[in-house]
Structure 1
Amino acid sequence: MSTTQTLHPGEPAKMSHRQVMQSLTGLLMGMFVSILAGTVVASSLPIIVSDLGGSQTSYTWVVTATLLATTISTPIWGKLADLVDRKLLLQLSLAIFVIASAIAGFSQDTNMLITMRVLQGLGGGGMAALSQVVMADIISPRERGKYMGLFGAIMAVGTVAGPLIGGFITDTINWRWNFFVALPIAVVAIWLIQRTLHLPELAKRKVKIDYFGIILLSAGVSLLLIWVSMAGTNFEWASPTTAWMVGGAVLALIAFVVVEIRASEPLINLGLFKNATFTLAVIASLSVGVTMFGTSVFLSQYMIMARGATATSAGLMTLPMMAGVLVISTIAGAMISRFGKWKAFVVAGSIMQTIGLFALGTIHYDTNYLLLSAYMFLLGSGVGMVMQNMVLVVQNAVPQKELGVASSAVTFFRSLGGTVGVAALGSILALRIPEMLAERKEEMGAALAQLGAAGKDVGQALASGTMPAMNQLPESIRQIIESVYGDAVAQVFAIAAPLGFLTILAVAFLPNLPLSRMTRTERSKVEEAAATVGSGPGELPAAGGSAAGATAETTLPADELESAPGR
């Protein structure tokens, strides 16, 4: 059993870099495992869905199911992190994730696979939310930049390694082993978290879970996303089904807002939206989510369906984007910690992200790979500079008693943007591919006719709506399919690109607050001192302005108070 570090008033714990890294070892490994288990199927997914007899809609939902569950569960995990043992929650979320991954390996159809991906998302939401909260427990915002860069690097390595490992396993063994590969590492990660992660004790208080908020948020978001992904294919956009699904989602979300306003322990504290930093970071995170998840999902599909790549080579071909995330997020994080300046990096990243999206909107199935690599690296660099730092600036700007909720809320809206983006863009792709194939009906008919009797079987297989196995198609048919998929995926990127302007505007107007050098525990003590002399929520007395302020000032350097919320 690990020991718990208890912090006493006037004795803030200052951890050395070695102590911090020791505490983060298990957490970093857990993050790597969850990312690896989530991305290992990325390059193999077209092959997996085809093998299980799924369609383009099934392909989209295999991805969307995980994102949806992650989105819904993230604020729940974040709220629990403010109430109960964070280390236990971390271990629980990681266990849920990897067990669901293992069961997914036995899937017999896409329905079973989608169900297990939902459970993966529940565990992944915990890892995403809790890792940010744990970092804030032991590292100050000023120092957190370089560790955020480290987390970004771990995410990038996991994102890069996953498709490569998965592609190799699929090409040499069987795609089912993709879901088993992370199990041994997960067991080690859970053990390391127990042995090495030492967190300050939470103040004892009565735990109240906002069950109504959980139900209403889940119902509202789920209905909305199911409608987005199915409208236009399973039913018309303007139809009675659309009316009841959208109407039900809106009513559920309105009821959620009412419940949150009245709840004593709200799932998402709506009062946080009064904080300009939080509100703008949420807006930026929504659009970044579309970019991050949408591009990674459809780039792998583009490589296999439009460029004829194998699962392994598809993973290799998306390396430039992941390299951009890995290299630039690490460099930016280190520079933010060194100089204490963050805004220029975030604004520059949002501009690079937008340019990269517009560039990917111009590609075709035969675009020069070096040019394509430059586009992907530019996009990855932009995402790497923006994504992690949105959480950092919010943690630096909100009252520390709300840190878990605020951190998970930013992650929630990023996941929500990704979920809506993948569902909506996937729905557009599912519509455009049949339309573009219909536009080339004569060319396709001529190619099928040249195949003689075999052409009839190929034509029936294509008409079934299932995703074709590209390596089994005749050359003449494959070229048409590759061209259609290449142009269709490019249109998806072109549609997503204008959202980049929303990211630029949001981060440009973020208040440029200096980064505090205090950990969560230290800042909480100062905020408590401020509360005793009647300061507003999240505000601190001016240095030397009161007895309580003087006490805080003698414990913590005065210059560090300047970056606290409300300053």
Structure 2
Amino acid sequence: MAAMVALLIAMLLAMLDNTIVAPALPTIVGDLGGLEHLSWVTTGYILASTAATPIWGKLGDLYGRRRTFLASIALFLVGSALCGMAQNFGELVGFRALQGLGAGGLMVGVLSGVAEIVPPRDRSKYQGVMMAAMPVAMIGGPLVGGFITDNLSWRWAFYVNLPLGVIALAVAWFTLRTLPKGVAGGRVDWWGAALLTTWITALVLLTSWGGGQYAWLSAPIIGLAVLTVAAFAAFVLVERRAASPIMPLSVFRSRNFSLAGALAFLSGFAMFGAVTFLPQFQQFVQGASATNSGLLLMPMMIAAMVVSIAGGTVISRTGRYKTFLVAGAALMAVGLGLFATMDTSTSPLVSGLFMVPLGVGLGCLMQTTTLLAQSSAPLRDVGAATGASTFLRNMGGSIGVSVLGSVYASALTSKLGAAGGDAGGSAQSMTPQALQKLPAAAQHLFASAVTHGVVEVFAVAAIVAACGVAVALLVKQLPLRGFGGGATKVSSSEPEPESGSESGSEPGARVVEVAEEATV
């Protein structure tokens, strides 16, 4: 139980960070400037975390779970402290990336730690304890972040990680001594890791800068496009030949897995986009404080949490999941479309009602896409399938925030410029507090510009989410493991399922137990 405390605190650190920072973003932008880089406060963190996750996992295999877990906590704390001390936006984005590198190791360390210290038959109840961190982060994070921004300095949104992290570091140091020390002779797929990081970074920069900071046909954007394609092609070649690849490509042979990955990408796009840009509208247009903007996100968070838990229960009893995927994608598109109808007179009650279908849609998709990805791979690849699905969801968040951030900044500044305002200065240095001191006409102008930007963000997001409905309709309803003929055989010597066929022939408790162990 003492070890579980350390793992639970680490899980909270990884999940809380973005939800705490989101309500502080309007104040951070006003204090440090750099509206065009607003999305990178979140994107840099997610991007670094996504690229680092498979590397931390491999390092844990080679050098021991405890050692790498402690190193990831320490790196996360260093990044948090430096973020709080940042003096300009460039420093903040760089330190957020450093923090994200540590966060990738936190998630891997938690999952690996549970797998090492808890027997498979008892693991579900401990995983339930871990899952309790999600609603705490989703609901508590915006509240804590808003309270800190209103009553302290935004810098404490990062400093708040330090006491929790020190406790986790100390408890883990003393309680995780029994974890395996690692295996000798293994090698990290450094070429695969480097190429993965390269094409991800180039793609996110391409989507962030294209059409905003640089024209789409400019030399920097074309160069990034070429680099993305070349690095991705090289990554595929290296992973196909690597003895121990960072990301096994065999899991993508299953049609259902690839579709589950696409839905995970789209749900990450929608979730991070909503959490990042809704506080802008709530604080600048609706006049909410940072604390209240955190409270105003609760309808979406609670709906997502309740539906995710209830949906998982229904699927575990019936084995039917396609309905949840189709309904989730449709509701996500509806929710985002409703946000695209907002104007300066939209009340907090109305925007709160708009959050409910979005939250229900996210709840239907988040857990179900992971479940489908796991069931669509042979048992020996379930861990890789889970990692790949998580990677795609994080990629959706990275690219979503990047693309939508570019859309928001462009729409906001163009609206201010068209109205004759100081587009650059007004947008870069405006805070909710400073806005209240301006004349009524200037307040209305800026609120209209923010509304224009947010509406365009959600219109683009709704179009992307609508594609998810078509993707979900292509999913085949096949038996899950443990439901009649849906069990994949346990023996590693038996043939793997063919692409697009996840069903096997041996159900039973042992299959479920082995699947659970492979998943973690």
With the shorter chain as reference, the TM-score category is 0.7 to 0.9
Once the two structures are TM-superposed, the CA of residue 114 in structure 1 deviates from its matched residue by: 1.0
Pairwise CA distance, 1:561:
9.2
Among 121, 140, 160, the alignment partner of 2:139 is: 160
Query: What is aligned with 1:383?
Result: 362
Task: Name the residue aligned to 1:476.
Answer: 441
Aligned to 2:43: 64
Alpha-carbon separation, structure 2, partners of 1:433 and 1:59: 13
Separation (CA, whole Å) in 1 of partners of 2:245 and 2:340: 41
Q: Does the 8 A contact of 2:60 with 2:182 survive in 1?
A: no
Q: Which moved more, 1:291-300 or 1:76-85?
A: 76-85
1:110–1:345 distance in 2 versus 1, CA, 3 Å: same
Please identify the structure whose Cα radius of gyration is greater: 1
Distance 1:491 1:248 in 2: 29
Which residue in 1 is equivalent to 2:374?
A: 395
User: TM-score normalized by structure 1?
Assistant: 0.79
Q: Provide structure 2 residue ranges, at least 5 long, that are not aligned to the other structure.
A: none
Q: Shift in Å at residue 314 of structure 1?
A: 1.5
1:435 partner amino acid: S
Q: CA deviation at 1:195?
A: 6.5
5 Å matches for 1:110-129?
Answer: 110-129=89-108
2:159 aligned partner:
180
Q: Return 219-228 or 556-565, whichever deviates more.
A: 556-565
Gaps of 5+ in 1: 1-20, 445-458, 544-552
- For residues 370 and 282 of structure 1, the distance between their equivalents in structure 2, rounded to whole angstroms, comes to 34
**Larger deviation, residues 219-228 vs 410-419:** 219-228
Cα distance in 2, alignment partners of residues 77 and 542 from structure 1? 35
**What amino acid maps onto 1:535 in structure 2?**
P
- Indicate the RMSD between aligned Cα atoms, in angstroms: 3.6
> How far off is 1:362 after superposition?
1.1
2:453 equivalent in structure 1: 488
1:535 and 2:495 are equivalent in the alignment? yes
Q: Which residue of 2 is the match for residue 416 of structure 1?
A: 395
Identify the residue that residue 349 of structure 1 maps to in structure 2: 328
Q: C-alpha separation between the residues in 1 aligned to 2:59 and 2:380?
A: 12
SS in 1 for 2:331: helix
Question: Does the CA contact (< 8 Å) of 1:346 and 1:507 recur in 2?
Answer: yes
**Is the CA contact (8 Å cut-off) linking 1:351 and 1:382 kept in structure 2?**
yes
CA contact (8 A) 1:106 1:176 kept: yes
Following superposition, the deviation at residue 340 of structure 1 comes to 4.9
| In structure 2, C-alpha distance between the alignment counterparts of 1:308 and 1:245, rounded to whole Å | 39
Answering whether residue 246 of structure 2 is matched by residue 260 of structure 1, we say no
Instruction: Summarize the Cα distance change of 1:542–1:274 in structure 2 as closer, same or farther, 3 Å threshold.
Output: same
Q: What is the match of residue 31 of structure 2? A: 51
Contact 1:149 1:330 in 2 (8 A): no
Name the SS for the 1:42 alignment partner: helix
Q: CA deviation at 1:371?
A: 1.9
Contact kept in structure 2, 1:153 and 1:326, CA below 8 Å: no
Matched, 1:505 2:485: no
Pairwise CA distance, 1:343: 3.9
Deviation at residue 483 of structure 1 after TM alignment: 1.5
Aligned to 1:462: 425
Cα deviations by residue, 1:458-508 (Å, 9 ceiling, x for unpaired): x59736844454233322201111112112201111111122233333344
- What residue in structure 2 maps to residue 95 of structure 1? 74
* Structural mapping, 1:129-528, within 5 Å: 129-131=108-110, 153-193=132-172, 204=183, 206-441=185-420, 459=422, 462=425, 465-468=428-431, 469-516=434-481, 527=490
Change in 2 beyond 3 A, CA 1:404/1:561: closer
Change (3 A) 1:276 1:211: same
> What is the 5 A alignment of 1:76-87?
76-80=55-59, 85-87=64-66
Q: 2:2 and 2:477 mapped to 1: Cα distance?
A: 32
- Relative to structure 1, the CA distance from residue 203 to residue 191 in structure 2 (aligned partners, 3 Å threshold; closer, same or farther) is closer
Asked if the contact 1:396–1:516 (Cα under 8 Å) also holds between the matched residues in 2, the reply is yes
Identity in percent: 34
The aligned amino acid for 1:35 is M
62-71 or 501-510: which moved more?
501-510
Matching residue within 11, 20, 36 for 1:40: 20
1:450 alignment partner in structure 2: none
Q: TM-score, normalised by structure 2?
A: 0.86
In 1, the alpha carbon distance for the partners of 2:331 and 2:368 equals 15
| Secondary structure of 1:43's aligned partner | helix
CA distance in 1, matches of 2:337, 2:119: 37
The CA deviation at 1:433 is 1.2
- Note if contact 1:290-1:417 (Cα within 8 Å) is conserved in structure 2: yes
Label 1:132 to 1:287 Cα distance change in 2 as closer, same or farther (>3 A): farther
The residue matched to 1:174 in structure 2 has which SS? coil
Is the CA contact (8 Å cut-off) linking 1:97 and 1:122 kept in structure 2?
yes
Instruction: Count how many residue pairs are aligned between Structure 1 and Structure 2.
Output: 509
CA contact (8 A) 2:7 2:168 kept: yes
Q: Report which stretch shifted further, 93-102 or 359-368.
A: 93-102
**What is the distance in 2 between the residues matched to 1:154 and 1:511?**
32
For 2:512 and 2:54, the matched residues in 1 are separated by 33
User: Secondary structure at the residue paired with 1:41?
Assistant: helix
Give CA-to-partner distance per residue, 1:397-424, whole Å, 9 cap, x none: 3234433332221111111111111111
Deviation at 1:564, TM superposition (A): 12
Distance change >3 Å, CA 353–CA 161, structure 1 → 2: same
Distance between the aligned counterparts of 1:201 and 1:540, measured in 2? 34
SS class of match (1:385)? helix
Contact 1:49 1:467 in 2 (8 A): yes
Contact 2:64 2:179 in 1 (8 A): no
Distance (whole Å) between structure 2 residues aligned to residue 413 and residue 308 of structure 1: 35
The CA distance in 1 between the partners of 2:517 and 2:479, in whole Å, is 9
Equivalent residues of 2:307, 2:360 under 8 A apart: yes
- Tell me, in whole angstroms, the C-alpha distance in 1 between the residues paired with 2:44 and 2:430: 19
Shift of 1:290: 0.6
Q: Find the aligned partners of 2:317 and 2:78 in 1 and give their Cα distance.
A: 40
- Checking the alignment, whether the CA contact within 8 Å between 1:429 and 1:492 is kept in structure 2 is yes
Secondary structure of the 1:498 match is helix
